[in-house]
Amino acid sequence: MEKLKEEMNRHRGQLFEFAMREMHGGDTIIILGSTLKDGSRLVVGKSTESLSLQLRNLQKIFWWLLLPVALIGFLGGLFLSNRTLSPVRELITSMKKIEGGSLSTRVPIGGSDDELEELKVLFNKMLDKIEGLVNGLKEAFDHLAHDIRTPVTRLRGRAELALTSEGDVESYREALQSCFENSDKILNFLQVLTDITEAENRSKKLKIEKKFISDLVKEIMSLYEMAFEEKDIRVVQKLDNHDWAMVDAKLISRVIANLLDNAHKYTPPGGEVTIETINQTENVIIRVTDSGPGISADEHGMIWQKLYRSDKSRSEYGMGLGLTFVKAVVEAHDGKVSVRSPVKDGRGTEFEVLLQKMS
C-alpha cells in the first residue's frame, strides 16, 4: 500500500494512470485513477496475470502450429516449384534431343492455359519451321547437285574426248563450243542465285525509272513469239496503254520473261496463254494465265522456294529458280505476287504481280 500511495502522490492530475509490480509476484498491476471535486481520489487497479497467461497460451499455440504450417508450406512450395519447372525440364529434354540430331522431337502439350504452355506451343511451331527449312535445304541441295551435275558432266566428257582423241581443228572447235555452252549454263545458274539473294536482302540498288509495263511486255513477247508459235500456243494480250509504274525496267522485264517462260513450259500444244496489264489508281497489275495442268493447292506456298520443282520427274528443263526470282524482285519493289490454280475446269494457273506506281 505504501508503494501505491507513493505512486499516487507522484500523479496529481485529474486523470492519471501508471503500472506497478505486485509485492509477491512478477505480474504487473495497471492503475487508473481520477481526482473528484471534493478532493478525494477514485482508483481502479487490474492485474495483468490473466493477460500474461493468455499470451503464454498463445505462444504455445503459435509454436505448436508453426511446425505443421512450415511443413505444409515446404511441401506445397516443393510441389508448386516442381509443377512450375516441369515445362522447363520438358523444354530442356527436347532441346537435348534436338542437339543430338532429332529434329522431329516436340514438347508435349498439356491442357493448361498459361504462359509456359503458350511458350511450348511457340517452341513446337519454331521446330516445325526449322525442320521444314532443313528438309527444304536438303532437297534443294539434291536438286542443285542434279542440275549442276548434268552440264559439268557434259563439259568434262567433251573435254576428255577432245584430249584423248586425235581430231581435226573443227572437232576441237566443237568440243570447245560445247564446253563453253555448258560452263555458261553453270555461270547463269549461279548468277541467278546471286541475283535472288541480292533482291531478297535488298543489297542491290534498284535503277528506278518511269516505265509503261505494256511496253516491257511487248518487248519480251517479241522474243517469245516464235517459241509459242512452234508449240502452237495461242497468246492473248490484253494490255492497258496507261499502265506506268516506277520500276527497275531490267528486273521487271526478267520477271515478265520468267512468267511467260513458265507458261510456255507447262501449257500443252494447242493451249492458250493470256497476259494482261491492269492500270489502277495506285497500282499496276500484271496477270499471266495458262491452260496447263495447274498446281495443286498444297504446292502454292512451296513454288516460291529456291530450287523447288513442281515437276517431280524433272522432265521439263529448268533451274527451279524462276518463281523465286519473281517473288524476290517484286517484293524488292514493295509489290506482291500471288498464284491461283486451278483457274477453270480443274486446269490452268494464274500468276498475278501487283506493282505500286510509286514504289
Q: What is the pLDDT along the chain (359 residues), one digit of tens a residue?
A: 666 667 666 766 777 777 777 655 566 777 777 777 777 777 777 766 666 677 778 888 888 888 888 888 888 887 777 766 777 777 778 778 777 777 777 777 776 777 777 877 888 888 888 877 777 667 766 666 766 777 778 788 878 777 777 767 777 788 888 888 878 877 877 788 788 878 877 777 889 999 999 999 999 999 999 999 999 999 999 999 899 999 999 999 999 999 999 999 999 999 999 999 999 999 999 999 999 999 988 888 888 877 776 654 444 555 678 898 999 999 999 999 999 999 988 899 999 999 998 86
pLDDT for 74: 83
pLDDT value, residue 338 = 95
This model's pTM is above 0.75: no
Per-residue exposure over 268-277, b if at least 16 CB sit within 10 Å of its own CB, e if not: eeebebbbbb
Write down the domain spans for the chain: 2-47, 115-201, 208-356
Amino acid identity, residue 327? K
Residue 184's closest CA among 211, 155, 210?
A: 155
Q: How far apart are CA 20 and CA 46, in angstroms?
A: 10
Q: Is the peptide bond before 342 cis (omega within 30 degrees of 0)?
A: yes
CATH number, domain 208-356: 3.30.565.10
DSSP string, 209-234: EEEEHHHHHHHHHHHHHHHHHHTT-E
Do the first three CATH levels of 115-201 and 208-356 match, i.e. the same topology?
no
Specify the pairing of strand 41-47 against strand 28-35: antiparallel
Q: Give residue 155's Cα distance to chain centre.
A: 42
CA–CA separation, 19 and 29 (whole Å): 6
Q: For the chain, what is the radius of gyration of the CA atoms?
A: 44
In terms of Cβ atoms closer than 10 Å to its own Cβ (0-12, 13-18, 19+), residue 34 is: middle
Q: Tell me the CATH architecture of domain 115-201.
A: Orthogonal Bundle (1.10)
How many other C-beta atoms can be found within 10 angstroms of the C-beta atom of residue 99?
Answer: 9
* pLDDT on residue 313: 41
